[in-house]
Structure 1
Amino acid sequence: MNQPDRDTSKDKIVRYNAGERINHWLVAITFVVLALSGLALFHPAMFWLSFVLGGGPWTRILHPFIGLLMFVCFALLALRFWRHNLIEKNDIGWLKNVGDVINNREENLPPVGRYNGGQKMLFWVMIACMAGLLLSGIVIWRAWFSWLFPIFVIRLAVVLHALCGFVLIAGIVVHIYAAIWVKGTVGAMTRGTVSRAWARKHHADWYRKMTGE
């Protein structure tokens, strides 16, 4: 897999190219739509959220199709970045000392590559949840597949779908919070670049590979 191209500007390093950023935002937008419409279908008290897709009937029709779109977009991202998310020795050390991250003492942590231990764990949790949502979603997709399965399988699939959905929502909330909390991270997914100082501080091994320093 090709590494991102190096930025020609003096103080910037390319972290994500245009295609990767577009793919990421497609996943983000479809996730928000699916989270809101999924909560609307989950409990009557939240049914008002079905407005996002034009009401109850349209929500029931469109939710699974948008889910397929999100899965395909996420799969493309996962195929591109999975090698960068393999757990390494320094990642375990990073996770053991995550308190230093919370207290902004990253100089006490081992250097990490393109992603740190927390980001890698979230990546694999997201893959598991996406797979669970796809498989369970197919089972409970009425008028298409649900008639193929006995009722107890459908009931188990409903529980699995809800569980994976809630875990994914919680994980994305943490992802968004961390991106805002670590200054400069959001810019990587909007402009595509990060400063050399940011890369050196938060992802020292990746910085060395990108700059040769």
Structure 2
Amino acid sequence: MTSTAGWTGPTGRSERRVPRFTRAERLVHRATAGLMLLCVGGAACLYFSPLAQLVGRRHLVVVVHEWSGILLPVPFLLGLASSAFRADLRRLNRLAQYDKEWLRAVRKRWTAPGLRPAGKFNAGQKIYSGWIAGAVPIMMFTGLLMWFSGLLPVISRTSAIFVHDVTALAISLVVLGHIRLAYRDSQARRGMRTGFVELAWAKREHSKWVQED
């Protein structure tokens, strides 16, 4: 990891910064987030009567919901062309020994510096990404079974609807939690917005990443 010349922070002093995400990674995140919000928003309009009456145009909402779901994996697949994106996928796919320490510290509500060691991604982010990676194909599969009735006769449309709805509710709750945590951490948002974070934040929240890179 290399640090760059600092910018002037909110305190008026110069702060050293380090690169965290490339432009390609940020574009993948933004496109995926946009499609996910369209899916969740469309589902909310379809299932909650007050929202459905407020928005109207049910057929248009259905079309947007269906196609945003189908397109959801596209940013990920395009991102595979980026070596930085592939490297981060490998990071997300591995739980290190210090990730167990991070989980234990979170469970016991330890907040002191150094008690929550993390690499570029902490254990919570790794679990979140793995869960989403598993839930999205389930949503796509069950959604296609609902869209094309009879596509797989051994699975009834009622069963597909049940699994789709339960998984959608779980995804909505998890995504809301993800947004809430991001809202509480301005440096995490800055890293995804600009690609850079303060070196002091990186050392505090992702100490293993600083050491490794």
TM-score normalised by the chain length of structure 1? 0.82
Q: For residues 115-156 of structure 1, what are the alpha-carbon distances to aligned partners after superposition, in whole Å with 9 as ceiling and x for unaligned?
A: 111111111111111111111111111xxx223244952111
Identify the match of residue 93 of structure 1 among 89, 96, 101: 101
| Alpha-carbon offset, residue 161 of structure 1 | 1.1
1:56 CA drift (Å): 0.5
Is 1:209 equivalent to 2:212 in the alignment? yes
Equivalent residue number for residue 58 of structure 1? 60
For residues 113 and 127 of structure 1, the distance between their equivalents in structure 2, rounded to whole angstroms, comes to 20
Q: How far did residue 45 of structure 1 move?
A: 4.2
Aligned to 2:75: 73
Query: Percent same amino acid at aligned positions?
Result: 23
1:108 counterpart residue number: 115
1:119 counterpart = 2:119: no
Can you list the C-alpha shifts for 1:15-68, whole angstroms capped at 9, x where unaligned?
11111111111111111111111122234344246x3xx721112223211111
Residue ranges of structure 1 left out of the alignment (5+ in a row): none
| Alpha-carbon shift at residue 72 of structure 1 (Å) | 2.0
Deviation of residue 200 (structure 1)? 0.4
What TM-score, normalized to structure 2?
Answer: 0.82
Quick check: 1:92–1:117 contact (8 Å CA) kept in 2?
A: yes
Contact kept, 8 Å, 1:12 with 1:196, in 2: the verdict is yes
SS in 1 for 2:111: coil
Instruction: Name structure 2 gaps, 5 residues minimum.
Output: 7-15
> What is the root-mean-square deviation in Å for CA atoms of aligned residues?
2.3
Distance 2:90 2:53 in 1: 41
What is the one-letter code of the residue matched to 2:191?
A
Contact 2:42–2:64 (Cα < 8 Å) also in 1:
no
Judge conservation of contact 2:101–2:115 (CA < 8 Å) in 1.
no
- Count matched residues: 198
Q: SS of the counterpart of 2:5?
A: coil
* Residues in 2 aligned to 1:48 and 1:93: alpha-carbon distance in whole angstroms: 49
